Structure formats: structure tokens, C-alpha cells
Chains A and B, each alone.
Chain A
Amino acid sequence: MSRTHVTCTINGDEVEFLAFDGQTLLDALRDEVQLIGVKEGCSTGDCGACSVILDDMLTCSCLVFAPEVEGRSLTTVEGLAEGDQLHPLQQSFLEGAALQCGICTPGFLVAAKSLLDKNPDPTEEEVRYAVAGNLCRCTGYDKIVRSILSAAADIRETM
């Protein structure tokens, strides 16, 4: 089976891997790069568990073929914390009990970061629409939305 050599930047580091024919970015991240924080809930772009930020765009990694990220830059949940410093979103999710089973959490954190990078002061409605591509079956979204709003406030305060 032929494999394609891919070089890209993941969470700030240059990474090289070999992708199988037809391998999705989701599978490559999990199987070749061992970034298991990227989750698979559907593999059809409907649940958002596999969310990554690809060149500033929130993207379902299950809908991208791995070779497509050649030369590009991406952020996964593993890239949110800086050293031993959690991202304010991670902190507010913990304090706000925004996760129950936690399988959707990486996707929500990435989607929320993508929102706050562009809109540091979103309304509740803007938050709800920004994460409408991410499914959570446990929480009813209440605590997730509150935690994103409170992280946004924290980030604004420290800026």
C-alpha cells in the first residue's frame, strides 16, 4: 500500500507522518501522530468530536484527507494549554462542570477557542450557534455555554 509523506505544524511543532491512501486527518492524527484527544463520534462531519483548527478555520478532521494538511498548521485540544498553564477555557470547563462523560469536551474546547479567537465577547446566542456543530448528549449544553461565556470574560479581563 502506498503512503504519502506529510509535513505540517501541529500545536506549534513541525510534524512529519506517512498517510495511507484515503486516510482521513482524524485517523492520521489518532493513529500516526498519537493525538488521541481528537475523538471520533461519527466520521461524517455531524458531531464535532474531531474538531481541530486548521489555518484558523474550525474543521472536522474526519472530513479532511490527511495529505491535504501538507504545509499547513493545525491546533488540537492537546495544544490548548501552555506548559503547565491551562487555557482559560479548560479552566472554566473544569470549574463550571461543563463535562460529564467528557468525550465531546475536546471538540467543544477547540470550537470555543476558535470562536473566542475571532469574537472575544460573544453573546449567549452567538456561543450557541458557534458550537451548534458539536454534539453533547450528556449536559444539555447549559454548563458548556456558561463556561464558554465565563472563559471569554476571564480572557477579556487579562487582556
Chain B
Amino acid sequence: MTTTQPEYKWVGTRPVRHDGLDKVTGRARYGADLALPGMLVGVVVRSPHPHANIVSIDTSRAELIDGVKAIVVGADFPVIGHDDSADAGEGVVDYRDLSRNVIARDKVLYEGHPVAAIAATSSTAARMAAEAIEIQYETLPYVLTVDEAMAENAPILHDDLITKGVSTSMGETNIASRELHEGGDLDAGFAQADVVVEREFTTKAVHQGYIEPHAVVADTGEDGRSVVWCSSQGHFLVRTQTAKVLGWEPSQIKVIPAEIGGGFGGKTTIYLEPLAVMLSAKAGRPVKLVMSRDEVFRASGPTSATRIRVKIGADKDGKITAAQAWLAYTAGAFKGSPVGPGCDCILTPYVIENFLIEGYDVVTNTAKVTAYRAPGAPMAAFASETVLDEIADELGIDPIDLRLRNAVKEGARAVYGPKFRRVGFIETLEAIKDHPHYKTPLGPNQGRGIASGFWFNGGLESSATVNINEDGTAVVVTGSPDIGGSRAAMAQMAAEELGIDVYRIRPVVADTESVGFTDVTGGSRVTFATGMAVVEACRKVVGLLSERAAKVWGVDQSEVEWVDGQAQHVLGAHSPLTIEEIADGAADTGGPVTASAAVNARGVGMAFSTQLCDVEVDTETGAVKILRYTTAQDAGRAIHPSYVEGQMQGGVAQGIGWALNEEYIYNNDGVMENPGFLDYRIPVASDLPMIDTVIVEVPNPNHPYGVRGVGEVGIVPPMAAVANAISDATGKRITDLPMSPTRIVKALMDNED
């Protein structure tokens, strides 16, 4: 990795995270770890059918069961219209759809769709009640894939769906929208090409796979206010969305963030919260709901299954002359797949004059998809980066050189519109090219692949408050749930600004009534945007501390400088005042020292990653072993390099799982067949090698420390990198994910024909 920036004392170092002790001793409280006196436990009754009308629900028998305190069904919730929608930070939310995903009203749209919820004094009683609720369904034909849903005469999910951007006639389609990016002259571009490669790809739905299932405790009072404790990627989002679904004002709900046990985008929406609040209101007691792993798989997440076609032409020097892409993504039961970002990201690393990209958002009778790390981009890159690799092969050009020849840099226009500011794509390519891994010799049945990826990163709204304690330590309060070490990064930036030791700073994540509004921890935005708010609040605090020193000295504030945690007189006329001394005497100089700042962060630094993968293919069994893996990513600046590396490594591991093992499998009844970690196999330690990281630092000029987001882009290249390595090892291009042993063996047998 590149060396730490010398000009900083804390930024770029690796302090032990402040919340670490609680997490290695078992003290940290996650979503399921709260118990309140008198608390009831609940279960959710879910549809066994992928598509059915609800004819009737009879809860009368269930209500008679001992210990059952409350039952809710769809009709207990207000009817909400489509026009009520808002940007939630990870895409637009249609509250009508959200409310019907939380609990079905007259129709169930996927297996696992909630139909009722029960709160009881014991889980045994709740489960007995679940059995006793009588629900009559009228089953309907269903569609699980984009092919089925887009077919003529396909069963229709929604009688009011239109294809946005194409047609206004309702109820005739499962296509919710069409995306289009067009530029130059496609035919002329392909005519200039010396080589054209066209391929079609499919990918399956995969789950974010956070180890902590969704969990919530709600305590609703007689005053119509509720306290909700849950783990999420944004407790303000939970507040807004829960209030919308209940028809309440957001201020009626206080959300207290628990520690979060992983999210990867999957906890940027709500599932259980409105049910828990409503059950608690009915029962007059706190209610806890926790999903089982089975429910997590069936009813939360996943990301889209896709079909993608890519055609790219290049001249003999490797310059891309034209590119065309067609993408269709499943949205699950309600519109809103990440096909938009898929279209935006698919060819964005390259300067392309002639292009046509079209995408389709397709509803299917599967769980509503939720954001998953760089939503929409990984499957798109799987397709485009594989085709590029084939072009490099055909032209006999090194795949890194091919990318260097076309790579975007400052001033280039992205296919989806905007012009790039300073970006570090080329630097990631060079970092991989210079890495010793690139020259390591390969053995028989071994192969090497490279791939690159792009992700926008996010800005959005963040708030922060900095309080100076009377002992001169500082509390940094934000509203961003810490999912992978962001509290440490906040403390490091604050330490740098305040000039005090990082361990004299306590970074905390506050509830919705103790800090200003803050968007989700998502879009790789926290260190960038919340970091900006923290830095701004710290600068205000430094101003206040300097003002207090000026008061003590009886001088003008312009004569005070803040250096290394103390006020110094510019001419040395007074001996310095430390932050401890100023804090101790704050009562006499104007009261407590505290400041807040809020941003709607602009000037996001976009992210690129280039990755290098070596595999060995067992030609008998089709098993693919990852031998070596190196990832280079532009972080702008790594505030805490260990956690930046952690994000890079984690993204790669998820991508390898997506490439080789992970997939939703449905049976003939439209029911998920592998809703557990035994059959939905995510990578374990013995599946992976060490994952080498190269942090490239091309600072983002719009952030005080140069930060770009780092959380997401790392998952964009792996599937293509692995596929390209498999092709190098076997000579076979695998175009369908996952590249499971059966699929590889089949591809190798085709070879022998």
C-alpha cells in the first residue's frame, strides 16, 4: 500500500477503533440484544405462494390462544398512494409500494410476503397463533425471471403499472421503466471496428448476506409516540419510512440505533418496524420482532437477477469504436431494480463516442430487491469487462493496456452524461500492472484475469455536533450508523482538526432526537459527507476555543492561533492555553463549548477499482480455487487504511461468492429452495486466499482530507476478474453466474466435442 501522508498526525494512521472493545468482549448491543420489561415477542405470518389474491383472513381462533396480545393484518394500516414518494438516498421510494411490501393488502406478490403479525407473551404462543390464523388464497400464475415477466401474455403483477418512459397504458406490462443512454453513431462506430465481440450473460439473484438478521423492538405509548430500537443503515430513514407506512408524523417516532451487524445496502429499507410499532400500540406493551435466517432470505434483500447483452467493437490498436448494451433486471414484487445505475456504470470507465445503452426494470414474483453494494453495477461489469477481455485476447493486446488505451480521465464525458473531475482510474490500472502479482508465473490449469469497475459514490445530508467536555476531551456526535469503522475515521478527522489525541475523542452515533437529520450509511458516503460535517463542526469549535482564549488574554481573536490543541498568541505575548484549561474555565468565558454543522455534501469523488485474480481449475470436478487476488482502488485519501483495506477485501470476497457459488434457487412452485447458509453458500475462510490491497490515493479536491468513498466499488470487478481468469485457464468463456462446478464441467465437456 502507499505510504501514509506525512503532513497529518492522525489521518492515515491506524488507531484501535473506539467501539472495538465492546465488540471483542460481547458487550456491544445489536438489533436483537435489547430486552425490555413486559416485552412481547412476535412472529410474522408470510405467504406460501409467489402470487395469489387474498380472499379472506380470519384471526378469530388465533386471538383466543393464551398469551396472544395483538394481531395485525394489512387492513390495519392506512391506504397510501403512489404519488407519495421520496428520494431515500439509495434511490426513490414509492411509499405505496413500500407499505404493501411491509404487509400485503389484497394480493401477495412473492413467497414470504407478510400477511399478518402476532405479538404474544412467548414465541411458542405466537407460533401457535400463526398456525391458527386462517387465510384463504386464490393462487395466480407467476413469473420469476425477466424472461418470463417480459414474455408476451405473461401474468401481470400490478394492474396499475405503466412502463415509465415508454407507455402510459396501465396493467399490461411487468416492465416498470426503460432507461436509455445514446451517443454518436452506433453503425458508423461498429463499421470502424476491426474486431467486434457480442455476448449474452445471465446472473442470478444474490443476497447481501449480512450475518445479523433484521430485528426491532418497538415501545408505543398511550400518547401515540413510539420508541423504536433497531439496527439499520439509517435510523432517520427508518423513522421517515415507518411514519409514512403508519400514516404518522415522523416526530411521533424516535429511533435509537443499535449496533448493526452488516447491511451492504440491505438495511436501507424497513420491513418489521411498522409491524412492531402497530403491535405494540395494540397490545400496550413493548414488542420485539426478529427475522429468522429463512425469513431474511425469503423476504429481505436480495439484488436483481439479470439478463445482459453487450456488444463492443474496437480497432486494431484497441481503441473502442462503439459499444451497445441491453440490460434487464428483476425488481422483485415492486418496481425499482438497480438497472438505472447498471446502465450508468456499465461502460463508464471508458471513453466511448458511439454507444447505445438500454435497460429495463422488470417486476417479478420474488422478494423486492434492495440495494446491494454498488447496486446494479457488478452484474453490468461482469458482462462488459468480460467482453473487453475477449477483445484484448482477439487483438493480442495486454488487457491492462487495452483498458489504459480507453480509460477515462479528468475532462472526459461519462456515457451517462457528466464530465469527470480528477479521477484515479488510470492509477489503479498502473498499480496492478506494476504489482509483482502480475508477473507471478502460472502453472497448468491456472489462469489470470483482470477487470475494472466504477461507482459514483454518494454525498447527501449529514449532521454532526462536537461537544468539548470539561476535561478537554471531545464528543463527536453523528447520525451515521457505523457499519465498518466509520466512528474511528470521524475521530481521526476530529483529532486532526482539534489537535488532540484521537483517544481523547469519543465518537458516538446518536438517536433521531439527539442529532440533526442524516441520510443512510450507504453510497459510500459516510467518511466523505458525514466527515465533512464533522470537520466543519470542529472548525467552529476551534473558532470558539480561540475566542475564549482571546477573552482570557483580553486580546482580539485575530491574535490567537490554534496549534496542537492549544491557543497560542501570535506574538507570544501570553503563554499558551491548552484545550483542557479553556474547557475547565468555560463557565467564566461564555459557557460550554459546542458547535454543530450540517451539510448536503456536493463534490463527490468518484471511485474506480482494478482487480487481478489467479485461479486454478480442477478439470475433473469443475471446482475453481482462487490462488491469488490483488485489488487496487482509489480511496482519495485513506483516513484509516486498515478499514479501507477491509472494505476492499470484503467487497472482493462477496464478489467471489457471487462469481462462484451464490444464487437463489426456486422450485416449480416459485418457492425459494435454499434459504439457509448451508445451501446458499457464502465464501468461508478456507475458500479464500489473503486478499492483497493497493490503496491508490488521488485526493478528491472537494473534501478537506481528499476522501472519496471506499465501500462499494470493490464488489464491481470480481465476477469479471474471476471469469476472465477461468477463461485464461480453460479457454472457455462462462457467461452465466454462478460459475459453479457443474457449469464449468459442462463448459469443459463442450470443449471436447
Which residues of A does B touch, CB under 8 Å?
Answer: 1, 20, 30-31, 34-44, 46-47, 49, 76-78, 80-81, 86, 90, 93-97, 99-106, 109, 124-125, 127-129, 131-146
6 A-B pairs in the complex with CB atoms less than 8 angstroms apart: A43-B292, A47-B293, A101-B211, A103-B30, A133-B684, A137-B210
* Contact assessment for A41 and B688 in the assembled complex, using a CB-CB cutoff below 8 Å: no
For chain B, the count of residues having a C-beta within 8 Å of the partner chain is: 60
* Contact assessment for B649 and A140 in the assembled complex, using a CB-CB cutoff below 8 Å: yes
CA distance A139 to B23 in the complex (A): 15
* Contact assessment for A137 and B24 in the assembled complex, using a CB-CB cutoff below 8 Å: no
* Contact assessment for A36 and B33 in the assembled complex, using a CB-CB cutoff below 8 Å: yes
Asked whether B35 is an interface residue with its Cβ less than 8 Å from the other chain, the reply is yes
Which residue of A20, A105, A132 is within 8 Å of B23 (Cβ)? A105
CA distance A107 to B686 in the complex (A): 16
B residues 1-37 touching A (CB-CB < 8 Å): 14, 16-17, 19-21, 23-30, 32-33, 35
Could you say which of B258-266, B502-510, B511-519 contacts chain A? B258-266
Chain A residues touching B, majority SS: loop
* Contact assessment for A128 and B685 in the assembled complex, using a CB-CB cutoff below 8 Å: yes
Give the distance to chain B from A140, nearest Cβ to Cβ, in Å. Answer: 3
* Contact assessment for A137 and B676 in the assembled complex, using a CB-CB cutoff below 8 Å: no
* Contact assessment for A141 and B27 in the assembled complex, using a CB-CB cutoff below 8 Å: no
Asked whether B203 is an interface residue with its Cβ less than 8 Å from the other chain, the reply is no
Q: Mark B27-66, 1 if CB is under 8 A from A, else 0.
A: 1111011010000000000000000000000000000000
With A44-B676, A97-B643, A137-B262 already in contact, the answer to whether A143 and B685 are too (CB < 8 A) is no
* Contact assessment for A1 and B122 in the assembled complex, using a CB-CB cutoff below 8 Å: yes
CA distance A93 to B484 in the complex (A): 14
Q: Nearest chain-A residue to B260 (Cβ)? A: A101
* Contact assessment for B211 and A97 in the assembled complex, using a CB-CB cutoff below 8 Å: no
Give the distance to chain A from B380, nearest Cβ to Cβ, in Å. Answer: 22
CA distance A34 to B643 in the complex (A): 31
A46, A76, A124, A146: most-surrounded residue (chain B CB, <10 A): A46
Give the distance to chain B from A134, nearest Cβ to Cβ, in Å. Answer: 7
* Contact assessment for A39 and B30 in the assembled complex, using a CB-CB cutoff below 8 Å: yes
B residues 677-695 touching A (CB-CB < 8 Å): 677-678, 682-686, 688, 690-691
Asked whether B653 is an interface residue with its Cβ less than 8 Å from the other chain, the reply is yes
* Contact assessment for B676 and A132 in the assembled complex, using a CB-CB cutoff below 8 Å: no
CA distance A108 to B683 in the complex (A): 15
Which residue of B33, B650, B684 is within 8 Å of A132 (Cβ)? B684
Q: Nearest chain-A residue to B293 (Cβ)? A: A42
Asked whether B155 is an interface residue with its Cβ less than 8 Å from the other chain, the reply is no
With A78-B26, A143-B642 already in contact, the answer to whether A135 and B690 are too (CB < 8 A) is no
CA distance A139 to B651 in the complex (A): 8
* Contact assessment for A102 and B678 in the assembled complex, using a CB-CB cutoff below 8 Å: no
* Contact assessment for A134 and B262 in the assembled complex, using a CB-CB cutoff below 8 Å: no
CA distance A34 to B70 in the complex (A): 26
B375: which A residues are within 8 A, CB to CB? none
* Contact assessment for B688 and A95 in the assembled complex, using a CB-CB cutoff below 8 Å: no
Give me 14 other A-B pairs in contact (C-beta within 8 A), A20-B122, A135-B677 excluded: A20-B124, A43-B292, A46-B676, A78-B26, A97-B17, A97-B485, A100-B262, A100-B647, A104-B261, A134-B685, A137-B653, A138-B262, A140-B683, A141-B685
A40: which B residues are within 8 A, CB to CB? 32, 213, 290
B647: which A residues are within 8 A, CB to CB? 100
* Contact assessment for B685 and A99 in the assembled complex, using a CB-CB cutoff below 8 Å: no
Asked whether B706 is an interface residue with its Cβ less than 8 Å from the other chain, the reply is no
* Contact assessment for A42 and B676 in the assembled complex, using a CB-CB cutoff below 8 Å: yes
* Contact assessment for A145 and B211 in the assembled complex, using a CB-CB cutoff below 8 Å: no
* Contact assessment for B652 and A41 in the assembled complex, using a CB-CB cutoff below 8 Å: no
With A44-B293, A145-B690 already in contact, the answer to whether A39 and B485 are too (CB < 8 A) is no
With A103-B212, A137-B262 already in contact, the answer to whether A78 and B25 are too (CB < 8 A) is yes
A20: which B residues are within 8 A, CB to CB? 122, 124
* Contact assessment for A106 and B26 in the assembled complex, using a CB-CB cutoff below 8 Å: yes
* Contact assessment for A136 and B27 in the assembled complex, using a CB-CB cutoff below 8 Å: no
Asked whether B646 is an interface residue with its Cβ less than 8 Å from the other chain, the reply is yes
CA distance A104 to B686 in the complex (A): 16
* Contact assessment for A97 and B646 in the assembled complex, using a CB-CB cutoff below 8 Å: yes
CA distance A62 to B708 in the complex (A): 41
Q: Mark B629-647, 1 if CB is under 8 A from A, else 0.
A: 0000000000010110111
Which residue of B261, B651, B685 is within 8 Å of A101 (Cβ)? B261
With A42-B676, A138-B262, A145-B690 already in contact, the answer to whether A94 and B32 are too (CB < 8 A) is no
Asked whether B734 is an interface residue with its Cβ less than 8 Å from the other chain, the reply is no
Give the distance to chain B from A110, nearest Cβ to Cβ, in Å. Answer: 10
Asked whether B452 is an interface residue with its Cβ less than 8 Å from the other chain, the reply is no
CA distance A39 to B290 in the complex (A): 13
Give the distance to chain B from A26, nearest Cβ to Cβ, in Å. Answer: 11
CA distance A105 to B211 in the complex (A): 11
B26, B27, B28, B261: most-surrounded residue (chain A CB, <10 A): B26
Asked whether B163 is an interface residue with its Cβ less than 8 Å from the other chain, the reply is no
B35: which A residues are within 8 A, CB to CB? 31, 34
* Contact assessment for A41 and B485 in the assembled complex, using a CB-CB cutoff below 8 Å: no
Give the distance to chain A from B210, nearest Cβ to Cβ, in Å. Answer: 6
B122: which A residues are within 8 A, CB to CB? 1, 20
CA distance A134 to B686 in the complex (A): 10
* Contact assessment for B33 and A41 in the assembled complex, using a CB-CB cutoff below 8 Å: no
